[in-house]
Amino acid sequence: MNVVDKVPNLLGFTPEQLTDHLTARGVDVPLDEARRVLAHAISLRPDSTERRRPVRASVLKAVADHTRLERLEVVERVTDPVDNFCKYLLRSPDGALTEAVRIPLHKEGCFTVCLSSQVGCAMGCAFCATGRLGLTRNLQAWEMVSAFKAVRDEAPGRVTGAVFMGQGEPFHNYDEVIQAARVLSNPCGGRIRMENITISTVGLVPQIRRYTREGHRFRLIVSLTSAVAERRRTLLPVAGRFPLTEVADAIREYALSRGERATVAWVVMGGLNTGDDEVAELKRLLSDVPLRINLIDVNESRPDGFVRASDEELSAFRDRLQVLGVPVVRRYSGGRERHAACGMLAATRFGEANSTART
């Protein structure tokens, strides 16, 4: 590890953590000045007209001496001409490539940012482009914050949300993802409300239970995609480690602890996971849990044989799901015209770049 790597990046701190970090090194920095430092570094856009309150030179020197301020480089931007989703290819200082996406919301002038949590992914989900890349390394919290800032600073409006649903399994990088979410939700960080930050998982049961115990107020989505055990193991290899009954129990604990609906995601694949058997098993596993089901179309252009369900098949599936008596929402899959799936843009350059970033 290079010496500079041992110096923490400023973008990965909350104000309280920055104060503690500097105090431990013999520098007394009041919390209000730590807030100003981080506001200047993270929360204020370059074009912001908000007044920038001054910070003492001695504090700036202490920050410069005991932290570093590297940012991800924007390598490429690809905007879909149909829906205006904008995908960013980003390079870390070690050359690793990851992606982020600027997503327009229904409220005009508002956006959310989809963030990656790893360089590649170890989960190997059969229908996922990132899964074919393999895992290179985890992203650090500051890299996720830097990705958010890169996208937000160019947004033609307000960024009001963030979702950890890009490359990687967020709960496979639990501590760094939670730290990034803390920074993004801080008034001196990303200024995103906690309930507007979403973390997705394919069903890592120990981490779901830890998340429940810790009482985080960010939103959680668990990707089920199939409630038929054998089929789910084929589609999501992680299901071989965590049986569906354990995943269901973890979802149940989470929903009860929150006193609200748990959200499950379902990647819909034509002729595969839309039948009566899926509904019957889903009812058996989770009929006593308040749910919200998000249906997501599988990406259309793919080499693995998975195809999108027809409108008729999808409509019939939604009708079958009504037996559960829960909200069923079809989530729009954006950026279809230009590298829609997570990992597709990075995959065009992944091999040579990320081979230098393995740890």
Catalytically annotated residues: 99, 342
Dihedral sign, Cα of residue 16, residue 18, residue 200, residue 193:
positive
Q: Cα 148 from chain centroid?
A: 10
Separation CA 135–CA 359 (nearest Å): 10
Separation CA 305–CA 48 (nearest Å): 47
DSSP state letters, 27-64 = ----HHHHHHHHIIIIIS-TT--S------HHHHHHHH
- CA neighbor of 231 nearest in space, from 190, 281, 183: 281
Cβ count near 319 (within 10 Å):
11
Greatest CA span in the chain, whole angstroms? 67
Separation CA 161–CA 198 (nearest Å): 8
Cβ burial 1-13 (10 Å sphere, 16+ → b, else e) = eeeeeeebbbbbb
Task: Give every CB contact of residue 98 below 8 A, 6+ residues apart in sequence.
Answer: 72, 89, 90, 92, 116, 118, 119, 139, 143, 147, 166, 167, 346
Separation CA 187–CA 35 (nearest Å): 9
Cβ count near 327 (within 10 Å):
13
